[in-house]
Each structure stands twice: as structure tokens, then as C-alpha cells.
A = this chain, B = another copy of it.
């Protein structure tokens, strides 16, 4: 099978590496709006060839959209339009791998070729980006989410399942709106938190040059996500604004509870707040 990969960054690149290595794809043809990324992906061997949009779509059995959330809505529409020009029975499938699913679901809902599209989200990544950051094994044992599969052709869904199976992912089905609430809690919120932590300490550094001398593993792990890039995360936050803003309000309220208890020297309140937080031990290793 030939895969047409639109977006040659960390996610698309890492998928391409393992899909070829593990025999799912015979050939990967790619494109990227950033010509430096595109050339690098070709040189590294992530793609076999670079192609323009039409050549990529026309020659591929499966088109994968692996670009930031905001831009993906337009590109998905173009891919489905091209499928229609090629004929309703062209048999091609398009999947996207974006972190926010409802805007895409809404945009594609009434498209006549909707059933050739499978909405997915491989829940994996690192704080690095670009084809240089792509690596084998990044998706192993992580959650691979398929959304709104009742709106897709069963054969197209099976292809997406086979793809995530090949990446060793745990496949989870859910609808896009649940997906966007869940990821706001367990992924997008963590990123805002880390960004805000980085800003708070970097601000202090302006007057206190050695503020980071004492930083240890705890600080590094909490602030790690703050290295994530604005190109990916700005559209995720904006596209998922409706879910994320009320959660940020809840989070601020939780920080404020700690702040007030600490300001009041109320040991028993602080201790209860911490003890409740400790229930997270049940969830994470």
C-alpha cells in the first residue's frame, strides 16, 4: 500500500517510520508546507518521495493528515473533494491524527465523501518537533483513538484499526466530543500548567539570575511540557477553547484553595488537600 503523508513532523514522521518498517506501507509519499522539513524528511528516509497535493492524493491508497489542528480542517476538505473528483468508488481512505476532533467532525459531517474519512488520534508524542524528532516505537502501548466510527465506512475503520494495531496501540473508540473533553483534562490542561510554570519562574529570573541553580528533578518533570512548540499547541488550545476554558477555571480554583489555606497557615486544610490529591497514586505509576 502507498501512504500519502501530509505533514512530515514528529507524529507523521514517527508513524511513517514504523508503518514502513513493520510492513504496513510499501511506500510513503509526503508533502510539508515547510520546505526545510520536507527536504529533511526525504533525506532522513521518512518518505520515499516528495509530491504535490494532487499527485500525493491520486497515487496513494491511504492519505494521512498530520498537520496542526487549525490547518487540518481545510486540508481534510480538499482531500475529500479530490476523492470525489476521482470518483465516489475510488476506494481511498483519509485519516487525520489531530489532537482536537470536534472541529474536524463538524467540518466533514455533511461532505458526500464523509464515509471515506476516519477521525483518529494517536495519544503519544514528545516535547520535540519536526522530522528530526521522529522515532520508531513512539506509539507502542499508547492509546490510539478512533472517533465517530459510525460515520465512516466499516472497511475504512478496519484499515485505521489495522494501522494502529501495526503501531502497537491500544485502540479506543469514542465520539469526538468526549474525546475533546478527555484530552482537555489529561493533556491540554497539563500543557497550560507547564507553560505557566515556566513563565512564572522565567519572570523571576530577570531579577534573580541564579533562580535555576536549585532546580531538581521535580521541577524538570513538571515544566517539561513547556518545551512544546507554539505551532502545534496554539491551534489545539484555540480549537478546544470551549472545553478547556471551564477546566482552566476549575484548575485556578484548585490552586487558589491551596493558596488560601497556605496563606491562612491552615495545616489541617493543606493536609486534606494534599491527601485528596494523593489519590492520583491509583492512576499513575
Contact = CB atoms under 8 A, between A and B. Distances in A.
Q: How many copies make up the complex? A: 2
A224 B221 contact: yes
A143 interface: yes
Interface string A255-278: 111110011010100111111111
Contacts of A222: 190, 193-194, 221-222, 224-225
Q: Which 3 A-B residue pairings sit nearest by Cβ, starting from the closest?
A: A230-B274, A195-B277, A196-B254
A237 B268 CA distance: 12
B145 A220 contact: no
A251 B198 CA distance: 9
Contact of A241 (B145, B199, B241, B265): B265
Interface stretch (A3-11, A156-164, A207-215): A207-215
A44 interface: no
Contact of A199 (B70, B142, B276): B276
B274 A195 contact: yes
Contacts of A19: none
A129 B251 CA distance: 27
A133 interface: no
A135 interface: no
Given A193-B222, A263-B245, A143 B216 contact: yes
A102 B18 CA distance: 54
Interface stretch (A35-43, A52-60, A109-117, A178-186): A178-186
A97 interface: no
A225 B234 contact: no
20 contacts: A125-B216, A142-B216, A145-B214, A181-B208, A186-B214, A190-B197, A190-B218, A190-B219, A191-B218, A198-B279, A199-B276, A200-B251, A218-B224, A219-B284, A221-B221, A221-B224, A226-B280, A227-B280, A227-B281, A230-B278
A191 B214 CA distance: 15
Given A191-B218, A196-B251, A238-B267, A185 B204 contact: yes
Interface centre among A145, A249, A277 (most CB of B within 10 A): A277
A107 interface: no
A202 interface: yes
A136 interface: no
A38 B127 CA distance: 43
A108 interface: no
Contacts of A187: 214-216, 218-219
A25 interface: no
Contacts of A198: 277-280
A96 to B, nearest CB: 17
Contact of A284 (B181, B215, B281): B215
